[in-house]
């Protein structure tokens, strides 16, 4: 194309001045402008295509990492909250029944271990993996997620999870501190309680303070379990949405 216009220009230069020559030269000039514009548009289009290709690669990387984070959230929620919830509640209910005089102890050490287990996840810290999401926010790369629906769902998941995590902390009862004030918890000797501490702890389980703390801890257990179920269900839905996006 450029060679063609160059030949036309040479021909026009060789022609004698005339109205026809001026008209032809004007056409030539317009043609050259059109050619330049087309070239620019093609270059812009190629650049846009290349940038979009890079964005899609980066998007895929982020979505793959988000899947791993969600997998962690689901596993952590099941392992550290839901799988321990039933035993936690049973331990707390057993302590309440003993206070009420409706439970006869057959094995003191096992009973106190069950009472102590009532304090698991008592600090109500929902340990979710937000590394990829935090990077998306801090770098501004959240906009690399092409689908508005998916982008909004990702934001909603983490905002919802953060709200539930903060909200659950309002229910911390002090139950763990109460139990540990009578028998220290040693990770190297789990479930080992000195005989003197056993007698002291049994005495204080019969107090109104224990009963009140057990009820507060039960409230926390139900709340954290409910929050965790919601988060896991949301994580599963988001996982499905991301997988669908990656398959397209």
Among 127, 146, 109, 122, smallest CA distance to 220 is for 122
**Residue 104 binned pLDDT confidence (cut-offs 50, 70, 90):** very high
**How many angstroms separate the first and last alpha carbons of the chain?**
39
Percent of the residues in the chain that have a pLDDT greater than 90, as a whole number: 65
Query: Which pTM value belongs to this model?
Result: 0.79
- Boundaries of every domain in the chain: 2-247
Question: In the 8-state DSSP scheme, what is residue 1?
Answer: -
Q: Which of 35-49, 60-74, 160-174, 192-206 has the highest mean pLDDT?
A: 60-74
- What sign results for the dihedral spanned by CA atoms 90, 91, 95, 96? negative
| Residues contacting residue 139 through CB under 8 Å, at least 6 positions apart | none
């Amino acid at each position: 194309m450029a060679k063609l216009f160059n030949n036309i220009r040479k021909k026009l230069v060789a022609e004698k001045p005339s109205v026809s020559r001026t008209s032809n030269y004007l056409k030539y000039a317009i043609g050259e402008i059109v050619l330049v514009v087309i070239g620019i548009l093609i270059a812009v289009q190629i650049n846009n295509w290349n940038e979009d290709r890079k964005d899609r690669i980066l998007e895929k990387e982020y979505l793959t990492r988000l899947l791993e984070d969600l997998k962690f959230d689901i596993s952590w929620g099941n392992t550290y909250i839901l799988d321990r919830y039933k035993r936690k509640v049973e331990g707390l209910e057993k302590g309440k029944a003993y206070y009420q005089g409706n439970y006869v102890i057959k094995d003191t050490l096992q009973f106190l271990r069950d009472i102590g287990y009532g304090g698991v996840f008592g600090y109500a810290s929902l340990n979710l993996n937000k590394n990829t999401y935090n990077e998306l926010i801090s770098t501004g790369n959240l906009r690399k997620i092409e689908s508005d629906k998916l982008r909004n769902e990702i934001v909603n998941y983490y905002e919802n999870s953060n709200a539930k995590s903060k909200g659950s902390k309002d229910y911390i009862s002090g139950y763990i501190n109460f139990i540990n004030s009578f028998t220290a918890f040693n990770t190297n000797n789990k479930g080992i309680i000195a005989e003197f501490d056993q007698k002291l702890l049994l005495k204080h389980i019969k107090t109104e303070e224990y009963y009140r703390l057990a009820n507060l801890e039960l409230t926390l257990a139900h709340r954290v379990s409910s929050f965790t179920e919601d988060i896991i269900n949301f994580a599963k839905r988001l996982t499905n949405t991301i997988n669908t996006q990656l398959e397209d």
